[in-house]
Amino acid sequence: MEFIENITGMDATAFTAMIPNMLVGCWQVIQIFLLTVLFAVPLGFLVALGRTSRFKILSGIIRIYQLIVRGTPLMLQLMFCMYAPSFLFGLTPHRFAACIIAFVINYAAYFGEIFRSGIQSIPQGQYEAGKVLGYTKTQVFFHIILPQVVKRVIPPTGSEFMVLVKDTALAQIIAQPQLFDIAIKTAAKNVSITPYIAAGVFYLIMSAVVEFAFKKLESKLDYYR
């Protein structure tokens, strides 16, 4: 016990109480992560389609959306989603919902960019081969183009997923409970930096799981180039 107190600068009961708290924080991180992925990935796909659309107005609007979202801090976007509704309409949004909306809007823009570059990296010859074999445009896209796009976007998407794990800490700015919040509060209460280090370890573990999963996925699609 003394050993723990010496190296952590926290008393042993506080230290052992911190761990379950942090696990709760991790679960909150995972919830933000999963909901963001669930909505932002399909939305990002639509963003990519809109961006590559022949309709100039649509692709223009989407480009402006991406510029705004990628050109302003995520922290600011979180505050906007949390506080703007009450300024504009006198509504107080649900905190967790505002948090998820901000993350989804932000990440859909980045996923959109990743998927767009993936779609555009497929050689024109693939479309032409599909066309001369009599496939419809929809068949060409879903059976020939999309599977190849998936393979190509997996590494950058995995990287973005890892960023998302850490970006959940920004939800602190709208007082959304999650791991970082617990780290700050525990550190303040015990006057110790150990909670920060512990939180760092938890973030690392969660990121490592994402990294591992994506490596696995990558090697699964390794059978062709």
> Which residues form the interface with other proteins (CB under 8 A)?
123, 125-126, 128-129, 131-135, 139, 143-144, 147-148, 151, 223-225
Minimum distance from residue 140 beta carbon to other proteins (Å): 10
Minimum distance from residue 154 beta carbon to other proteins (Å): 13
Between 16 and 139, CB nearer to other proteins: 139
Q: Kindly report the three-state secondary structure assignment for every residue of the chain.
A: CHHHHHHHCCCHHHHHHHHHHHHHHHHHHHHHHHHHHHHHHHHHHHHHHHHCCCCHHHHHHHHHHHHHHHHCCHHHHHHHHHHHHHHHHCCCCCHHHHHHHHHHHHHHHHHHHHHHHHHHCCCHHHHHHHHHCCCCHHHHHHHHHHHHHHHHHHHHHHHHHHHHHHHHHHHHHHCCCCHHHHHHHHHHHHCCCHHHHHHHHHHHHHHHHHHHHHHHHHHHCCCCC
Between 12 and 133, CB nearer to other proteins: 133
Between 71 and 123, CB nearer to other proteins: 123
Minimum distance from residue 151 beta carbon to other proteins (Å): 7
Minimum distance from residue 150 beta carbon to other proteins (Å): 9
